[in-house]
Amino acid sequence: MIPRATYRLQFHKDFNFADGARLADYLAALGISHVYASPILAARAGSLHGYDVVDHSRINPELGGEEGFRAMAAALRAKGLGLIVDIVPNHMAVGQADNGWWLDLLEKGRDSVHAASFDITWDAPGLEDRVLAPFLDGRPDALWAKGDLKLVRDAQSGKWAFAYFGHRFPLRPEDQTMTEAPTDWAPASRLLARQHFVLADWRQADSRINWRRFFDVTDLAAIRAENPAVFEAVHAKIFALYGEGLIDGVRVDHVDGLADPRAYCRLLHRRLSALRAGPYLLVEKILAENEHLPTDWGVHGTTGYEAMDALSSLLHADDGGALETLWRAVGGKSFEQEETEARQELLDTSFAAQRNAVLRAIQAAMPGTSEQALRPALAKTTAALRCYRGYVTGEPDTPPLAPPLVTALAPGLRPLFDDRSGAAATVEAVRRFHQLTAPIAAKAVEDTAFYRYGRLLSRNDVGFNPRRAFLSPADFHARILARATDFPHAMVTTATHDHKRGEDTRARLAALSASPALWRDFVQAARGCDGIDPSDTYILYQTLLGAWPDQADADFAARIEGWCRKHLREAKLRSSWRAPNITYEEAFCRFARRLVLDRAMQDFRDRLTALLAALAPLAEANILVQAALRHTLPGVPDLYQGAEFLDLSLVDPDNRRAVDYAARRQTLAAPPAADAPLAARKQRLIATLLAARGADPDLWTLGSYEPIAAGEGLIAFARRHAGRTLRVIARCNGYLAGRATFTLEQPCRDLLTGRILPAGAAADLPREWPVAILTGAG
């Protein structure tokens, strides 16, 4: 079943399955065919996202449990809506006392039935046959003396464990016979030394950890989904729900974190198809420039980051390098330099222990090589790689080396990747290499360089290439044609729970590319702040411009302060998550708050308001064009929760705030008005296009994609199926003027205005919209 249109919902304890069920009538009226749900399986208590799963065998009780999920699914089905769910086969939440697999591992070590569930390097120097548990804030002896680390006995199981606040570290079975806990550190330390785990300060994780994490998050441990028993356990509940018809497909989180994404996806497709024909299967995959998703994975495509990037690029004008010049004037570096430096830093810090494990694995696969030779080769390769990973496996049937990996590989590593013998050591070394480069790419690009590079923030988002300032219509067409050929039913999205800025925040900022002189004048007139780095100030000004609401109040100021802290810590230049510079953070937040609220900063706000007014015609056109193209291009349009109104959000948690559905219901039910605000016009545009999609799903789902030369500043294409045609014309690349240069062969009706255009008429845009959506024969 191919969805007509999906609607992403972020479930958590304050927005649960019952809340989702209550939206069924609204989503149906909007024209949605499927709810696209965040992870539904049991996650850590209080989770706001669901990606910290602790038990794959049951549905999250905080969301309503199985009963609540079934009730929601029934409510959705009653309105003709299906369900796609997000699954997390890469990792689980660990630490605390809520993951049975992890607790069993700590208790029994290599004898645990779950020893093979996690990716543990059992021969790591200094930790042989034990698991590092870096969850303490200090040394064990000091914490014991303070009374924070202690021995406790569980009232239900009767088992002894070391306890550190909410964490539990179970003792070995042979130590469970003691009747009372030691009170002195000497006997307690001897007891601790006998366990299958080693307690450590959380700060030692990066350099000592001997199990693979999700990125560099110590609370999330990678799991081995390539292990058949793990695969079945992780997917059993999802298979049951799909087989019963309660869900229609899945989205696989971070597919590049898996050992062999191709093998995993093929197996997942087979298992789902054996239960019920026609699963809709997507992968979260960030494609690098000129990288293409392999067509032999058995999936319908990606969740749409590359489509989001293409749409964003199309909205931008060619500023001739003016914005890069302004960025360099405040001390900024090129994006290429920022990415390279971030990759080098992270390999030597956050991923030092994992890097060392990879080096040992490569040495085992390439006898005679030395760490002295391999270390710089690995560093050079990871710094130069411009994609997440390759898919070569070392097996005889391996896919070929991806071009970005061929370009980046240091000569000393090439023999490893040319080996097709299937030797266990080779396969293991290649796997470990891929599972190192993928998280380094994510952390270096999305979570570091995107926060350091400030040429134009609308080009810094998940899956984007900031080196490319814009796309011409011809280049845009080429990308969409390639995507439609290989994956015609992939998702088309412009906002996600992971985006750095909301879709309309980006669309507004994109207008700056057409008016760099206005931005230059604004920045030059704005006041900086003593003690705040000019690059931070420059990025703050863009953030305020992109997210500025109709009324900037204390709530908005608080949102900006939250962004300020995250910006600084992710950039890792003047503060970081591991070593927060509270003094600098507070100074930056105070400056931001003054810009928003302080009376003395009214002149700044007046200039900002004037700039917004000057940019408004193009910004509003960008917002509407982006929404229109998302719903008319080949693929499944996805709407992020609440983004049918204006989405001027920032990075999470700001983009996961509660949505005012009462206002959206009321606006959708109201008759259209000529003077409706932009949010209402955007929602009406989306509803109109989804209604047309529902009325003729074959044309919108199966129709061809045929570029049309439309004239400067315009993008146009036709989609044809069974004698029916959809034609789309829209403004792009920062233009607000210009007329289409082609005529219509057949009479057409404009979906947005109702006007009828006769055959031979110019395919021009209506006065009130920056886009025309024309239907007719031909």
100 C-beta neighbours (distance < 10 Å), count: 12
272 C-beta neighbours (distance < 10 Å), count: 23
What integer pLDDT is reported at residue 391 of this predicted model? 98
Instruction: Give the Cα separation of 114 and 746 in Å (integer).
Output: 65
Instruction: Give the Cα separation of 776 and 728 in Å (integer).
Output: 12
Q: Which of 479, 481, 446 is nearest to 464 (CA)?
A: 446
Q: Which residues contact 680 (CB under 8 A, 6 or more apart)?
A: 667, 670, 673
User: Contact, 776 vs 748, CB < 8 A?
Assistant: yes
Give the C-alpha distances (Å, rounded to integers) separating 616 from 357, 499, 620, 684.
53, 23, 6, 19
Q: Which of 629, 565, 570 is nearest to 315 (CA)?
A: 629
Q: Which of 765, 740, 755, 479 is nearest to 633 (CA)?
A: 479
Q: Which residues contact 356 (CB under 8 A, 6 or more apart)?
A: none
Q: Token pair for residue 762?
A: 């110019």
14 C-beta neighbours (distance < 10 Å), count: 9
| Conformation bin of residue 158: beta by default, left when phi > 0, alpha when psi is -120 to 50 | left
Q: Which of 495, 476, 474, 472 is nearest to 484 (CA)?
A: 476
Instruction: Give the Cα separation of 284 and 128 in Å (integer).
Output: 35
Q: Which of 565, 555, 566, 610 is nearest to 591 (CA)?
A: 565
Q: Which residues contact 505 (CB under 8 A, 6 or more apart)?
A: 458, 546, 547, 647, 648, 649, 650
pLDDT tens for each residue of 442-472: 999 999 999 999 999 999 999 999 999 999 9
What integer pLDDT is reported at residue 527 of this predicted model? 81
User: Contact, 5 vs 32, CB < 8 A?
Assistant: yes
725-760: b (≥16 Cβ within 10 Å) or e: bbbbbbbbbbbeeeebebebeeebebbbeeeebeee
What is the distance of C-alpha 343 from the center of its chain?
19
What integer pLDDT is reported at residue 209 of this predicted model? 98
166 C-beta neighbours (distance < 10 Å), count: 11
Instruction: Give the Cα separation of 265 and 262 in Å (integer).
Output: 5
What integer pLDDT is reported at residue 739 of this predicted model? 84
Question: What pTM was computed for the model?
Answer: 0.97
What integer pLDDT is reported at residue 764 of this predicted model? 85
Question: 750 - beta bridge partners?
Answer: 774
What integer pLDDT is reported at residue 712 of this predicted model? 93
What integer pLDDT is reported at residue 200 of this predicted model? 98
User: Contact, 85 vs 251, CB < 8 A?
Assistant: yes
Instruction: Give the Cα separation of 650 and 592 in Å (integer).
Output: 15
Q: Token pair for residue 155?
A: 């009232």
The phi and psi torsions of 716 (rounded to 5 degrees) equal -145, 145
Question: 41 - beta bridge partners?
Answer: 59
What integer pLDDT is reported at residue 104 of this predicted model? 98
Please report the DSSP string for 548-605 in residue order.
--SS--HHHHHHHHHHHHHHHHHHTSS--SSS--HHHHHHHHHHHHHHHH-GGGHHHH
DSSP state of 751: T
User: Contact, 162 vs 171, CB < 8 A?
Assistant: yes
Instruction: Give the Cα separation of 542 and 561 in Å (integer).
Output: 14
User: Contact, 66 vs 237, CB < 8 A?
Assistant: no
What integer pLDDT is reported at residue 740 of this predicted model? 82
The maximal CA–CA distance of the chain, rounded, in angstroms, is 93
Instruction: Give the Cα separation of 561 and 449 in Å (integer).
Output: 20
The phi and psi torsions of 717 (rounded to 5 degrees) equal -155, 160
User: Contact, 772 vs 729, CB < 8 A?
Assistant: yes
Q: Which amino acid is at 388?
A: Y
pLDDT tens for each residue of 504-540: 999 999 999 999 999 999 999 998 999 999 999 999 9
Q: Which residues contact 516 (CB under 8 A, 6 or more apart)?
A: 319, 322, 323, 326
Q: Token pair for residue 249?
A: 């497909």
Instruction: Using 50 as the pLDDT threshold, list the residues of the chain that sit under it.
Output: none
User: Contact, 650 vs 543, CB < 8 A?
Assistant: yes
User: Contact, 315 vs 468, CB < 8 A?
Assistant: no
DSSP state of 78: H
